Structure 1
């Protein structure tokens, strides 16, 4: 298959990876979406899926930005695109789970002890917003995995799309 127009990875055995990070601000989500679409197109993702890639990466990055903002964090949002058998996008935030933090299970001693009045309403709104985003993502992306938060806090949204020659029945 070397040399065919569908062999966009050049026959490399090792996956190609593009990594970057951005300040958790809505203004940078657009840049992440554009980079995602460009890398996906270069990888050979079907033209009909590029809008899906762009929108899904935008939703995942927006979720990460909001998680950072709602927790008062300036840590960078990390983005990774891998080109191997599939095109994989991973968006990672560093925001701890507010419910776990306020109950003392994760990050004990962070946040000043007892939850403030109204914190439970804010936590419910944050949880609902994150759940809605994940529902939207699950409707956009067939292969979606969300991991975390772990003891260090943060979550990773992993999504992938097929590439030509990856064994799909629709490859030519």
Structure 2
């Protein structure tokens, strides 16, 4: 390597794509993440971390869409500047916001509400576990949302060589 691709970071680059919320496409997202990260100059020792973290975030997004019966696309964005940044965005609203809605689909009596509550707790626990796993994989993890329009964004970043001391944390 002649290092020229690292010099291009003065001009930020962005790769964006979206996929149907199906588990089969999470593998493709992981592969793209590892390839873009390698091209950006992320240290070889961190590429497995990038691949696994993006896979976890995409799986979380797919499950959020599935649990809410949504076919909206899961959006993924990689940006390369001072750091390699991966963002995974879903369009699923927070289940806790819907749980108090008496008109929510499938809620017709007290028994259905109890079952809906159990499902809500399982989904919330599953999302929390995924975020704990991500927190163990990625030092720089930020989860925003859900927004007023619904959805969350999981943002993760990794240092790039030669980006100075700020990249070390």
Query: What is the TM-score when the length of structure 2 is the normalising length?
Result: 0.89
Structure 1: where are the runs of 5+ without partners?
Answer: none
After superposition, the Cα gap between the structure-2 partners of 1:5 and 1:169, relative to the gap in structure 1 and judged at 3 Å, is farther
Residue segments in structure 2 that go unaligned for 5+ positions in a row? none
CA deviation after TM superposition for structure 1 residue 168, in Å: 3.3
After TM superposition, the structure 1 = structure 2 runs for residues 13-162 of structure 1, keeping only pairs within 5 Å, are 13-104=10-101, 111=105, 116-117=112-113, 118-162=115-159
- Report the 3-state secondary structure (helix = DSSP H, G, I; strand = E; otherwise coil) of the residue aligned with 1:160: strand
SS at match of 1:88: strand
Distance 1:35 1:113 in 2: 40
Given the superposition, is the C-alpha separation of residues 167 and 142 from structure 1 closer, same or farther in structure 2, using an over 3 Å criterion?
Answer: same
Change (3 A) 1:169 1:93: closer
Q: Tell whether the 8 Å contact from 1:147 to 1:155 is kept in structure 2 after alignment.
A: yes
Deviation at 1:15, TM superposition (A): 1.1
Give the TM-score of the pair, scaled to structure 1.
0.88
Distance 1:97 1:6, change over 3 A: same
Aligned with 2:26: secondary structure?
helix
CA RMSD in angstroms comes to 2.3
Count of aligned pairs between the two proteins: 165
CA contact (8 A) 1:146 1:158 kept: yes
